[in-house]
């Protein structure tokens, strides 16, 4: 069994939603017979010294840069690997409550991301922002249910990338949407081809996936 450390960053008004999402992801892995589980390792605090203020069309926003998040996740993963030495685990995943931004190294502007990944010394950090998935839900009666499904698909997408899967064109969580409505209609799981690649990656760690259109 392989584990991915799971945490969250930021202030969530509905913390139960985080655990429900992680439980649903684990249920999916279990039902599909995949030897993979998320292992909750507690909330991760990123210090206020990392906070940046970004001017947007809607006014000033307080955000954490991705570089600070990756650094904090890397440190947390090293700590958890040391504390849980008997567990096979070299990846960490985080849901964050705020938008993800990173400063372009060549120009003075920030780019926004749904999710991001970075590998350092064989360890992989994965991050997914909740904010983009909250779009167009303000007046929905099923807001929480829809948001939960969106986030489960988002976690499966990032986990797939974490094990070498690329984007695909099938009805699959690895097929990124252009609009959130497409994401709502997307199948809750991996297509046959992506599932085979994920299963192979779990059976043969370190094996590079072949590129697929």
In what helix (H) or strand (E) does residue 66 lie, and over which residues does it extend? Answer: helix 66-83
**How many other C-beta atoms lie within 10 A of the C-beta of residue 122?**
7
Q: At what angle do helices 15-31 and 143-162 cross, to 10 degrees?
A: 50
- Here the tokens at position 116 are 């991001």
Cα–Cα distance, 213 to 207 (Å, whole number): 19
Closest by CA position to 43, among listed 13, 6, 85? 6
> Catalytic: which of 31, 32, 57, 158?
158
Residues 6+ apart with CB under 8 A from 96: 8, 9, 10, 64, 69, 127, 128, 129, 130
Catalytic residue list contains 136? no
**How many other C-beta atoms lie within 10 A of the C-beta of residue 37?**
16
Sign of the CA dihedral with 175 first, then 69, 143, and 24 last: positive
Cα–Cα distance, 132 to 121 (Å, whole number): 30
Q: Is 72 helix (H, G, I), strand (E, B) or coil?
A: helix
Catalytic residues, which ones?
158
């Amino acid at each position: 069994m392989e584990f991915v450390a799971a945490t969250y960053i930021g202030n969530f008004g509905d913390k139960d939603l985080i655990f429900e999402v992680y439980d649903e992801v684990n249920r999916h892995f279990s039902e599909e017979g995949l030897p993979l589980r998320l292992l909750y390792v507690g909330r991760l605090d990123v210090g206020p010294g990392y906070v940046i203020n970004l001017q947007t069309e809607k006014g000033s926003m307080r955000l954490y840069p991705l570089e600070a998040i990756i650094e904090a996740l890397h440190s947390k993963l090293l700590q958890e690997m040391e504390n849980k030495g008997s567990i096979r685990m070299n990846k960490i995943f985080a849901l964050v409550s705020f938008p993800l931004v990173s400063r372009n190294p060549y120009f003075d502007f920030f780019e926004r991301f749904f999710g991001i990944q970075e590998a350092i010394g064989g360890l992989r950090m994965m991050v997914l922002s909740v904010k983009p998935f909250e779009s167009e839900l303000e007046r929905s009666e099923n807001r929480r249910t829809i948001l939960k499904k969106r986030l489960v698909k988002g976690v499966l997408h990032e986990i797939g990338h974490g094990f070498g899967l690329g984007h695909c064109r099938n009805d699959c969580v690895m097929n990124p949407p252009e609009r959130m409505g497409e994401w709502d209609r997307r199948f809750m799981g991996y297509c046959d081809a992506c599932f085979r690649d994920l299963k192979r990656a779990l059976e043969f760690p370190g094996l590079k996936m072949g590129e697929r259109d």
